[in-house]
């Protein structure tokens, strides 16, 4: 059973979502990866206002391919979220309510998600062509010099994700593999 969720996400929605839920996400998301996060962290260090009001928003960790003529965006699947772990708690504290990426998060990120109410969705890594079809519009809103790593505002429609870590800290990367773990005798 798939849940349809609209962004931005309020705290009631965060509470309603549980690890393992299959979700079709629609609405505005911000696309940012390593270099844009580093820039955002530097702006916060300098006490400057951020290019976006992050409260209730969702960041999608991705760096798309260039769009061909007639395309909204090129292939755009999730990148490894763990590289953004150094930055995520600070943004969650400022009100970031959702992240989309792939792979595990560290204990600091999960603790911060529990403290402030945020959810981490995973999309299937390596499905950038399929996911690009769920992006209906996008524009670069900051750091254009970063190329594929620029900060983008995008509108997504029925973007398929799974709740990987919910607001209570339940982690599919822990529970999922335990369920299917088998001991294979290495004779």
31 makes contact with other proteins (CB under 8 A)? no
Closer to other proteins by Cβ: residue 65 or 141? 65
144 makes contact with other proteins (CB under 8 A)? no
State the minimum distance, in angstroms, from the CB of residue 96 to other proteins: 21
22-31 vs 98-101, strand pairing mode: unpaired
Binding to other proteins (CB under 8 A) within 49-108 occurs at 62-68, 71, 74-77, 79-80, 82, 102-104
* Contact residues for other proteins, defined by CB under 8 A: 20, 22, 62-68, 71, 74-77, 79-80, 82, 102-104, 122, 124-130, 132-133, 147-148, 160, 162, 164, 172-173, 175-184, 186-187
């Amino acid at each position: 059973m798939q849940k349809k969720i609209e962004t931005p996400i309020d705290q009631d929605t965060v509470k309603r979502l549980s690890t393992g839920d299959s979700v079709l996400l629609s609405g505005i998301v911000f696309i940012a990866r390593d270099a844009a996060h580093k820039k955002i962290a530097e702006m916060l260090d300098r006490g400057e206002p951020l290019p976006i009001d992050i409260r209730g928003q969702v960041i999608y960790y991705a760096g798309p391919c260039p769009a061909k003529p007639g395309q909204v965006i090129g292939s755009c699947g999730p990148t490894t979220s763990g590289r953004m772990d150094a930055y995520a708690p600070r943004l969650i504290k400022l009100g970031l309510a959702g992240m989309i990426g792939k792979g595990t998060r560290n204990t600091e990120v999960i603790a911060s998600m529990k403290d402030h109410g945020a959810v981490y969705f995973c999309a299937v890594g390596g499905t950038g062509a399929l996911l690009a079809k769920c992006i209906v519009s996008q524009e670069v809103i900051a750091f254009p010099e970063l190329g594929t790593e620029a900060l983008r505002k995008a509108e997504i429609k029925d973007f398929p994700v799974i709740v990987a870590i919910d607001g209570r800290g339940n982690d599919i990367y822990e529970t999922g593999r335990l369920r299917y773990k088998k001991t294979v005798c290495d004779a």
